[in-house]
Structure 1
Amino acid sequence: MLPAERYEEYYKALLEKNTEYEGLFYVGVKTTGVFCRPTCPARKPKLKNCEFFANPQQALLASYRPCQRCRPLSHPNHVPEIVRVLVEAVESNPEKRWTTQDFKNLSVDESTARRQFKKRFGMTFVEYARARRMGLALKNIRSGKTVIDSQLSTGYESSSGFRDAFSRIMGAAPTLLEDGKVLKAAWIDTRLGPMMAIGNDEALYLLEFIDRRGLEREIERLRKRTKSAIIPGVTAPILSIERELSEYFDGERTTFNTPLALLGSPFQQSVWGELMKIPPGETRSYLDISVALGKPTAFRAVAQANGANQLAIVIPCHRVINANGELGGYGGGLTRKNWLLHHEQGGE
């Protein structure tokens, strides 16, 4: 999501239908579950019911669906036929995983679809369809409803359709999880946008921003590595990290006590251990970390281990920057990384 300090600016632009903001933000309306472009002609929501996103993919991953009036997935002045056909096809069957044959059935050229979506929205059609499917699954995680309630509320016509969609994301049908190893997943709202927490009764396994690139693959790897099913729910470690994150964003906490499950190689775990030694408000370079580990030439491996961290904020990979002082990379986005560092230095 976009920074909260700009919400009033964006809301003013929304009220005025200011065309200068086209493409700069998209607004998700909590009361309707849709997201719109700044110039949408629909009745305007209250500010408290708005969430602002930098691009359509962020809105889709936050479980919003595109508005039918302003069509935020189309160019403001033109809706290409191929785009209209594909978006309507996804909305009619959002759990579908698209194949080459599906494109042929619609008389659509797959490579053309990829270029059209990439050019206009910054993501391919398959990425759009995946984000929409992921958003629906995460919406059910967020609500914590029963299986049947979740099925009906997301508009699935059959229970098998819902089970298939759930299974594709989480790896097991929700009614087949009574036996075996189970991890639970919950949606946590934070000042910097929604996060997903996954854990069992003993520890937290994953904490990531919902719009992190590759989150779906991360969840799949976690599921396979732990040989677990992942279902909606909460556990003591999830409740603990939700409380501690709230205190962290309020400036009342700088360290975390929630028990963690670190699934990595010995080298990765040694890197993560060094990250947790970096004091809040300070930064280190990849070279600094490699030197601290006694392996001064391993800074590239340190960077890879840093990127493999699945516990954002808690294991503070955001405190690692390039040796030249530049921010470097961050799975949650450089805007968030800059905000977190500023926050820990007393700026928020």
Structure 2
Amino acid sequence: MLMTRPDFDTLYEALLNRDPSYDGRVFVCVASTGIFCRLTCPARKPKRENCTFHETVGECIDAGFRPCKRCKPTTPEASADPVVKSLIGALEKRPGYRWGEPDIVRMGLDPSTVRRAFKRHFGMTFLEMARQRRLQEGFSTLAEGGKVIDAQITAGFESPSAFREAFAKILGQAPGTFSDDPLLVADWVSSPLGPLIAVADKTQLHLLEFLDRRALPAEFRKLQTYAKGRIGFGRTGITDQIQEELDRFFAGKSGVFETRLALHGSTFTRDVWRELLKIPAGDTRSYSDLASDLGRPTAVRAVARANGANQIAIVVPCHRVLGADGSLTGYGGGLWRKQRLIELERSYAAANPAPWSAQQICQDF
């Protein structure tokens, strides 16, 4: 359970009020129509006696209900929000543009409404997302062999110092300090939950982290120590492979990740990560469960620390670990992402369980 299930009266009241706090967490099945909806669906509200509530899309389908064509409960929540959809489309058309509130107003949208919608769906505002997108464009220029000044211009930064500062805030070092003769190369990969930084060599993936993760600079420094300062910009076949596998994952086509992983950590930490890889998509464990599975039932705190030290997001599924009471807790990528990942995996695993088992090859360091 990701939350304590409210009683029927509370959920029906949320349905009547179109309460957005339940979006993607609870769905209503309507016996009189045979369809299921989000609680925020704009359709006319059903009678109490015709309603039942379920926590996942899979449960609704198993109960014999069809998805509503108005609120589209089987699509990612943000895709069904017209405000979000229009701005994401505009951002993709002009990724290097310096977006501001006047641009939002010119599109006929209210900045405060936009701010709330993006915070709810993505844990960040649209303007923060647009700034990240500009930095991605600069990163891509560097990965393709471009100069720092070219990357700065592509990213829409007027000042070289502002570009260096923004870049260093993400990775802990300015772009000019990266190696021209690298052992490992860094580039970004995309996902519906935000961009990730991938660091790889020709055979293994060493790091995969969300761009806004606070621990990313510290993780990057540790990897620099391992590589003796020789991390540069670029992509390898491993980078392309993980992008393809992430695309299939988020499209609900496969939960199998076959990219070879390099695990950098202590023996105990690596043991915890391997145990995480055994958790099937759609399932969850508690920290105490993991400790018991490792034969270390008293090492719950150490297991939690190792879980938090994971530096290969999504693939090593630390998001599948919950608190002892079933609550969301302790995810460096943001609890909103953890919620989305678990919901995504549960809905897809219920509909098509076969392709959702992990299959990674790991190398220890």
TM-score range, shorter chain: 0.5 to 0.7
Which residue in the other structure is 2:83 paired with? 11
How much has 1:346 moved relative to structure 2?
2.4
State percent identity of aligned pairs: 39
Question: Alpha carbons of 1:341 and 1:8: their partners in 2 closer, same or farther (altered >3 Å)?
Answer: closer
How much has 1:154 moved relative to structure 2?
4.1
Question: Alpha carbons of 1:196 and 1:33: their partners in 2 closer, same or farther (altered >3 Å)?
Answer: same
How much has 1:201 moved relative to structure 2?
1.1
Distance in 2 (CA, whole Å) between partners of 1:249 and 1:277 is: 20
Report the 3-state secondary structure (helix = DSSP H, G, I; strand = E; otherwise coil) of the residue aligned with 1:6.
Answer: helix
Query: Per-residue displacement from partner, 1:295-346 (whole Å, max 9, x unpaired)?
Result: 1000010000000000011001011111211122211222221221122122
Which residue in the other structure is 1:249 paired with? 250
Distance in 2 (CA, whole Å) between partners of 1:38 and 1:152 is: 22
Distance in 2 (CA, whole Å) between partners of 1:13 and 1:63 is: 14
Which residue in the other structure is 1:210 paired with? 211
Which residue in the other structure is 2:201 paired with? 200
The TM-score normalised by the length of structure 1 is 0.63
Matched, 1:322 2:323: yes
Distance in 2 (CA, whole Å) between partners of 1:155 and 1:35 is: 10
Distance in 2 (CA, whole Å) between partners of 1:157 and 1:13 is: 29
Which residue in the other structure is 1:229 paired with? 230
Matched, 1:279 2:280: yes
How much has 1:63 moved relative to structure 2?
5.5
Matched to 2:293, the amino acid is A
How much has 1:36 moved relative to structure 2?
4.0
Matched, 1:41 2:113: no
How much has 1:42 moved relative to structure 2?
2.4
Distance in 2 (CA, whole Å) between partners of 1:157 and 1:40 is: 22
Distance in 1 (CA, whole Å) between partners of 2:327 and 2:274 is: 23
Distance in 2 (CA, whole Å) between partners of 1:211 and 1:164 is: 15
2:91 paired residue among 21, 29, 36: 29
**RMSD (Å) for aligned C-alpha atoms:** 3.8
Question: Alpha carbons of 1:141 and 1:230: their partners in 2 closer, same or farther (altered >3 Å)?
Answer: farther
How much has 1:240 moved relative to structure 2?
0.8
Counterparts of 1:58-137 in structure 2, within 5 Å, are 62=129, 64=131
How much has 1:35 moved relative to structure 2?
3.7
Instruction: Report if aligned partners of 1:164, 1:173 keep a CA contact under 8 Å in 2.
Output: no
Instruction: Report if aligned partners of 1:170, 1:231 keep a CA contact under 8 Å in 2.
Output: no
Distance in 2 (CA, whole Å) between partners of 1:261 and 1:317 is: 16
Question: Unpaired runs of 5+ in structure 2?
Answer: 1-22, 25-75, 352-365
Matched to 2:139, the amino acid is I
Distance in 1 (CA, whole Å) between partners of 2:343 and 2:157 is: 44
Distance in 1 (CA, whole Å) between partners of 2:308 and 2:205 is: 18
Question: Alpha carbons of 1:60 and 1:298: their partners in 2 closer, same or farther (altered >3 Å)?
Answer: farther
Matched to 2:322, the amino acid is I
Instruction: Report if aligned partners of 1:141, 1:233 keep a CA contact under 8 Å in 2.
Output: no
How much has 1:153 moved relative to structure 2?
2.8
Distance in 2 (CA, whole Å) between partners of 1:170 and 1:155 is: 21
Matched to 1:29, the amino acid is L
How much has 1:262 moved relative to structure 2?
0.5
Question: Alpha carbons of 1:217 and 1:27: their partners in 2 closer, same or farther (altered >3 Å)?
Answer: farther
Question: Alpha carbons of 1:165 and 1:11: their partners in 2 closer, same or farther (altered >3 Å)?
Answer: closer
Distance in 1 (CA, whole Å) between partners of 2:260 and 2:84 is: 43
Distance in 2 (CA, whole Å) between partners of 1:56 and 1:27 is: 18
Which stretch has the larger CA shift, 185-194 or 254-263? 185-194
Matched, 1:301 2:278: no
Question: Alpha carbons of 1:61 and 1:239: their partners in 2 closer, same or farther (altered >3 Å)?
Answer: farther
Distance in 2 (CA, whole Å) between partners of 1:335 and 1:58 is: 13
Which residue in the other structure is 2:263 paired with? 262
Matched, 1:140 2:138: yes
Distance in 1 (CA, whole Å) between partners of 2:161 and 2:98 is: 25
Matched, 1:178 2:180: yes
Aligned length: 263
Matched to 1:191, the amino acid is P
Distance in 2 (CA, whole Å) between partners of 1:155 and 1:12 is: 23
Instruction: Report if aligned partners of 1:61, 1:210 keep a CA contact under 8 Å in 2.
Output: no
Matched to 2:140, the amino acid is R
Matched to 1:9, the amino acid is D
Query: Per-residue displacement from partner, 1:239-270 (whole Å, max 9, x unpaired)?
Result: 11001111111122122110111000001000
The TM-score normalised by the length of structure 2 is 0.60
Query: Per-residue displacement from partner, 1:195-216 (whole Å, max 9, x unpaired)?
Result: 1111111211111111222323
Report the 3-state secondary structure (helix = DSSP H, G, I; strand = E; otherwise coil) of the residue aligned with 1:186.
Answer: strand
Distance in 1 (CA, whole Å) between partners of 2:345 and 2:154 is: 40
Question: Alpha carbons of 1:149 and 1:258: their partners in 2 closer, same or farther (altered >3 Å)?
Answer: same
How much has 1:160 moved relative to structure 2?
9.1
Query: Per-residue displacement from partner, 1:79-104 (whole Å, max 9, x unpaired)?
Result: xxxxxxxxxxxxxxxxxxxxxxxxxx
Matched to 1:235, the amino acid is T
Which residue in the other structure is 2:61 paired with? none
Distance in 2 (CA, whole Å) between partners of 1:183 and 1:252 is: 30
